[in-house]
Structure 1
């Protein structure tokens, strides 16, 4: 972090204040808990538990109940985190709107109310404060619904609550992106859309990993036959994570091109250096995902096919979570870097503003196709590895 601050200062970059770093990183942690947890529960945990109950493959009989209970508790605490970080992020917006306003003053409810009730700027179709008012009302409703899962009566309806909260959690970030003035050109529209795609896919990726790691912590309460259920959980989330990787890469390339004019700006500007660190961390996440796809997932499939209960449980509840823990740490590090990505490397370096063209869109289409082919090939390669005839496949795992 000191290296980042030094590079930023030497490039004429204004280092964000500590309160700005903590509130922005915290806000994205809150979004990861709300968006990532609800989407992962809906797409991975819920269908896996329902499938296990339908086939009677629920370990010693209470595994599904244990995982549902832990999921409800996790969701409730994620609601608390969203509520707290959302309030702090709103106060940070208030502090930034006032010239030299201390962050402590911005926490006052009357300051926040003044900010939310401020009239629209000239030429705006809606007041910016109104946008944030609607966003935070949705955030409050989302957090309240999640916190309700602390109550035993609400836990009986966890599935319904999650499905109801999911679109509201997405709306928290989407509403905040609504522009108060109409974007002037196509590039600005693409900036808004791809920025939100980057946020949503990143929060689903990190939030989902954190939820599954938390659920894996129940292994002491799970039966010896929990391996097949967890094999299905990891398989389903691997598909979700793969989609997120594709969305993060495509949107990230666009946003990087908009803000960085040349490779040298990655180490000669504060913004570029922060982006370089973020890219390195994301590559670490992708590398860990590759370990899961090419090493752990095939061994899990082989152990399951061989009906090797002990190896399957060890792989799904001991080895896999260890790798995922590393991914969670890298993901949190990415969020810690985000507050430093303010401004633009192009502006710092005095280079021209990025303007899209037919060749840029053609290159983008080529990237999307190449990435889709790469992800498809990854899935097929992992599947092929899982079909290899190996003697005692999980013994060396």
Structure 2
């Protein structure tokens, strides 16, 4: 009689939770610093110089905390992996750092560079430093160190037999991790700044208008990078849609895709509904409605997105192996007359890239970029159209609402799929 097909367990929840803390701290560190470099810092320096120290110090404090927590998180994961009794072998974890192997060097780089990034950003927790010229250099150096630390999690530990394929696989993972880090960490940073009192009242409206516009572009690029890299990883690990429901890897991946889809739906809501209406309210001078949205709807939506992002990072560590191998091993086990130990089950070779793969990949890349660019332009037109309609129909019932602060020089560009929907 044929043996029963082997089950593919998810693995202990504790293992995934330990990995989750590592991903959250590493990606959060990258995203927080990137937010200050790409969005909030330049926006404050350009539109509200008085708010620059307060905005920078708040992001710096969060970055330092993430960096300080990332080092023990990496060590905890190493200790858990080194233990033979599913415990924590701290001595083995510490000794594995820079032990002469490639894996040891990469682990050592992770621990070292997250602490370096935290140390570089730490001076910016002082407002006098945050307002000085050193801000740009410290943030740039900290972002570089944090990015390399995050990338070290997926750098190859062995010399690849095919340098072209190995380099491309590494590039795909870098796009996936850095895109996710900048997007998810940026959302967390925006939530911190949306707390009442985080941004000084003077220039707050102009600051948010510019900050949203800049983060919108960064978020669009991140979504495109995650989507394209995710498509390649799907091609490499899944053979057909049926494996999404017939294998454990496919089911977990399906849950991850659903969560990612929820994030995109929230972004679509902000891009095509919320933000154009906020622009119209601003031009009408409706301060009460704007404050209501500012203090309630925006933080709530971003908080939901942050929770979904954390859930997505919790699901990701449950992805073990590949759907291709799980389906193949189940078939081999069913055809075998005697049970085969899980460790001795055969594995399929990696998929080979062909000409058709490059053709489809190029078409997918062009399609994703066109979709993102077209969505950005379309939502911008909606915002300008609603603002023009609001300006052409002044509100004569509440003239006192048209205060100087309510007026903004121009309507901000639309938000990206990351729900950066805070009004100017």
User: Which deviates more, 142-151 or 238-247?
Assistant: 142-151
Residue from 359, 368, 378 that aligns with 1:381: 378
**Does residue 1:328 correspond to 2:306, yes or no?**
yes
Which structure 2 residue ranges, 5 or more long, are not aligned?
330-347, 396-422
Q: Secondary structure at the match of 1:387?
A: helix
The alpha carbon displacement at 1:27 in A equals: 0.8
Work out the CA distance in 2 between the residues paired with 1:321 and 1:248: 24
Residue from 50, 53, 59 that aligns with 2:48: 53
Work out the CA distance in 1 between the residues paired with 2:319 and 2:106: 23
The alpha carbon displacement at 1:142 in A equals: 1.9
Work out the CA distance in 1 between the residues paired with 2:390 and 2:224: 35
Aligned to 1:372: 369
Closer, same or farther: CA 68–307 of 1 in aligned 2, 3 Å: farther
Residues 227 and 312 of structure 1 are in contact (CA less than 8 Å); yes or no, is this contact kept in structure 2? no
Aligned to 2:70: 82
Work out the CA distance in 1 between the residues paired with 2:226 and 2:216: 15
Superposed CA offset, 1:338-369 (max 9, x none): 11011111110008542221101110100110
Aligned to 1:165: 142
Residues 260 and 272 of structure 1 are in contact (CA less than 8 Å); yes or no, is this contact kept in structure 2? yes
Work out the CA distance in 2 between the residues paired with 1:364 and 1:150: 44
Aligned to 2:236: 258
Aligned to 2:220: 242
User: Which deviates more, 78-87 or 337-346?
Assistant: 78-87
TM-score (norm 1): 0.83
User: Which deviates more, 354-363 or 219-228?
Assistant: 219-228
Work out the CA distance in 2 between the residues paired with 1:377 and 1:117: 47
Work out the CA distance in 1 between the residues paired with 2:110 and 2:325: 30
Closer, same or farther: CA 107–153 of 1 in aligned 2, 3 Å: farther
Residue from 279, 282, 290 that aligns with 2:257: 279
Closer, same or farther: CA 349–65 of 1 in aligned 2, 3 Å: same
Equivalences for 1:353-372 in 2 at 5 Å?
353-372=350-369
User: Which deviates more, 167-176 or 277-286?
Assistant: 167-176
The alpha carbon displacement at 1:373 in A equals: 0.8
Q: Which has the larger radius of gyration?
A: 2
Aligned to 1:57: none
The alpha carbon displacement at 1:330 in A equals: 0.7
Q: Secondary structure at the match of 1:350?
A: helix
Closer, same or farther: CA 190–277 of 1 in aligned 2, 3 Å: same
Aligned to 2:118: 143
Residues 249 and 323 of structure 2 are in contact (CA less than 8 Å); yes or no, is this contact kept in structure 1? yes
Residues 82 and 143 of structure 1 are in contact (CA less than 8 Å); yes or no, is this contact kept in structure 2? no
Work out the CA distance in 2 between the residues paired with 1:52 and 1:152: 18
The alpha carbon displacement at 1:130 in A equals: 2.3
Superposed CA offset, 1:116-167 (max 9, x none): 35454xxxxxx32123223322222223334555566765555442222010
**Does residue 1:180 correspond to 2:161, yes or no?**
no
User: Which deviates more, 181-190 or 208-217?
Assistant: 181-190
Closer, same or farther: CA 151–85 of 1 in aligned 2, 3 Å: farther
User: Which deviates more, 254-263 or 136-145?
Assistant: 136-145
Aligned to 2:8: 13
Q: Secondary structure at the match of 1:183?
A: coil
Residues 79 and 93 of structure 2 are in contact (CA less than 8 Å); yes or no, is this contact kept in structure 1? yes
Closer, same or farther: CA 11–161 of 1 in aligned 2, 3 Å: farther
The alpha carbon displacement at 1:222 in A equals: 4.1
When the two structures are aligned, how many residues end up with a matched partner? Answer: 367
Aligned to 2:409: none
CA RMSD of aligned residues (A): 2.8
**Does residue 1:107 correspond to 2:90, yes or no?**
yes
User: Which deviates more, 334-343 or 128-137?
Assistant: 128-137
Residue from 203, 217, 222 that aligns with 2:181: 203
User: Which deviates more, 273-282 or 154-163?
Assistant: 154-163
Q: Secondary structure at the match of 1:84?
A: helix
Residue from 324, 330, 341 that aligns with 2:319: 341
Superposed CA offset, 1:276-330 (max 9, x none): 0000000111111111111122223334445555544444453222221111111
Work out the CA distance in 2 between the residues paired with 1:327 and 1:245: 14
Work out the CA distance in 1 between the residues paired with 2:48 and 2:127: 21
Aligned to 1:4: none
